[in-house]
Structure 1
Amino acid sequence: MLQRIKPAIVAVGTVMPTRNPRAVFLGTGFAIADGRQIITNAHVVGKELDAAHLEQFAVFFRQDEREHMLIADLTAIDQEHDLAILRLQDGKLPALEIGDSGRVKEGQLFAFTGYPIGMVLGLYPVTHRSIISAISPNAIPVIASRQLNVKMIKKLATPYEVFQLDATAYPGNSGSPLYDIDSGKVVGIINKVFVQGSKENALSNPSGISYAIPSEHIKQLLNQKSIQ
């Protein structure tokens, strides 16, 4: 199954001709739909590009024992569910199939593949196995009002369910696919920073628990396909 998954996984970042290094890693993404669409987290591509110095979004991957880079444009974003779609200007990659996240149950075993510490160890995606520890709202009530902030209040008003995982994901894993080990169908997308900040806002020492956004929101964004 990994032979089918890995070719779709990319490192997401930016490239700028005058910068040293030219390439900067921001997170993980993976190909969907026609293979030219790359899904990742909105916070991964949230930085403002330095247009004056020709900075562009790009994806990086290893194929045929060589490292490749493709320029991409940001074409859709969903801030509420922290999702974004990049479209490759040229070329395409093997796409992963989006599964039905509504069928996911607690205790089921899945896997996720991405770049936990960026491109430090080269473009070699790392895979972890994990069970669904819980399915719960993306924000939980805080103990005291002083712990509230604007983002937390908004999430408490319009919560949605996320998958809690028993495996440790790192910031570089943001945007990694969570998929069925047998079929390879994607049921979620790893979100290390955005959701953890919501659910663990009340903790002085975050637990290191990882989360994933259900894939139903990826399908919705593909159907909308517009900058919001």
Structure 2
Amino acid sequence: MLCGPAAADFSAVIAAVKPSVVGVGSYQRLRSPAITFNGTGVVVGDGLSVITNAHVALEFPNTELKEELGVVIAGEGTAFSFRPATLVGIDKEHDLAHLRLGAGPPLPALKLGDSATLREGRDLAITGFPLGMVLGLHHVTHRAMLSAITPVIIPSASSRQLDARAVAALQRAPFNIFQLDGTAYPGNSGSPVYDPADGTVYGIINMVFVKGLKESAISSPSGISYAIPARYVHELLQRKAP
């Protein structure tokens, strides 16, 4: 257990990180509740860019119901607010999405680091919303160690263990993901994985997409958490909006 100056420093980093971590969801005026939550996002760049998982962003919006995509910002106590955003970039291969906030001031942004510099054994942290808005929109932070850097998918021992999604992934260029020993839940999808010393982001938590590929051959899925390296976030941010 941490104590003394190190614990105090980490507390300060968490306090600095929290304003940059938002919920990702939708708003529909006639719905109850009007605001829904689907995952976590992190503010980067100029304070108007939000990175999350593609599967989180693509669930919204339903234009027929006049549903609006956006971010949910935690306030004091149980308060929260909604801010509209536009989906300007998508990377389905790495399950990443780039949202741009509309009218309003920039939010505090976190710095993206060079994920290629990470080595196994590195101490990291995760901040997000593992329970969504079930008990209120409250940031939750977990420590994590980079326990392995592994391929996103491995060949199955039997063709019976393959599904269409896994076959398609095997046909694409392979890439490595971060395997963490920290705890993350579905609501954490899109959460930043960062250096607990200074808040620099090195990855984005991904639970649904990676587990569907990585653990498809396991009868009892593990509690391992996974993250997409930040190098793919850099690449997505460099793409021109359609």
| TM interval, short-chain normalised | over 0.9
Residue by residue, what CA displacement relative to the aligned partner does 1:155-189 show, whole Å, maximum 9, x if unpaired? Answer: 22321000000112100000000000112110000
SS of equivalent residue, structure 1 residue 43: helix
1:14-25 equivalence runs, <5 A: 14-25=26-37
Deviation at 1:49, TM superposition (A): 2.2
| Aligned: 1:113 with 2:124 | no
* SS of structure 1 residue aligned to 2:57: coil
Answer yes or no: is the 8 Å Cα contact 1:15–1:22 preserved in 2. yes
Structure 1 runs (4+) greater than 4 angstroms displaced: none
Unaligned runs of 5+ in 2: 1-12
1:167 maps to which residue?
182
Counterpart CA distance in 2 for 1:47 and 1:62 is 21
On the 8 A contact 1:42/1:82 being kept in 2, the answer is yes
Percent identical residues: 49
Q: TM-score, normalised by structure 1?
A: 0.96
5 Å matches for 1:1-228? 1-63=13-75, 66-91=79-104, 92-157=106-171, 158-227=173-242
Q: 1:118 to 1:48 in 2, by over 3 A?
A: closer
Q: 1:61 & 1:49 partners in 2: Cα distance?
A: 18
1:50-71: per-residue Cα shift (whole Å, max 9, x none)?
2132101121112466522101
- Counterparts in 2 of 1:225 and 1:205: CA distance versus 1, 3 Å: farther
Return the alpha-carbon distance in structure 2 between the equivalents of residues 26 and 179 of structure 1: 21
- 2:146 counterpart SS class: strand
Q: Contact conserved, 1:77 with 1:226, CA < 8 A, in 2? A: no
CA distance in 1, matches of 2:143, 2:59: 30
In the alignment, the residues of structure 1 paired with residue 163 and residue 142 of structure 2 have an alpha-carbon distance, to the nearest angstrom, of 33
- 1:14 is displaced (CA, Å) by 0.7
Amino acid across the alignment from 1:22: A
Higher helix share: 2
Contact 1:18 1:53 in 2 (8 A): no
Q: Give distance in 1, aligned partners of 2:59 and 2:160.
A: 29
Contact 1:27 1:174 in 2 (8 A): yes
* Aligned counterparts of 2:232 and 2:98: Cα–Cα separation in 1: 12
Identify unmatched segments of 5+ residues in structure 1.
none
* Cα RMSD (Å): 1.3
Cα distance in 2, alignment partners of residues 34 and 139 from structure 1? 34
1: CA distance, partners of 2:215 / 2:95: 17
**Partner letter of residue 168 of structure 1?**
T
User: CA offset at residue 139 of structure 1?
Assistant: 0.4
Residue aligned with 2:31, SS: coil
Q: CA deviation at 1:150?
A: 2.1
Letter in 2 for 1:74: L
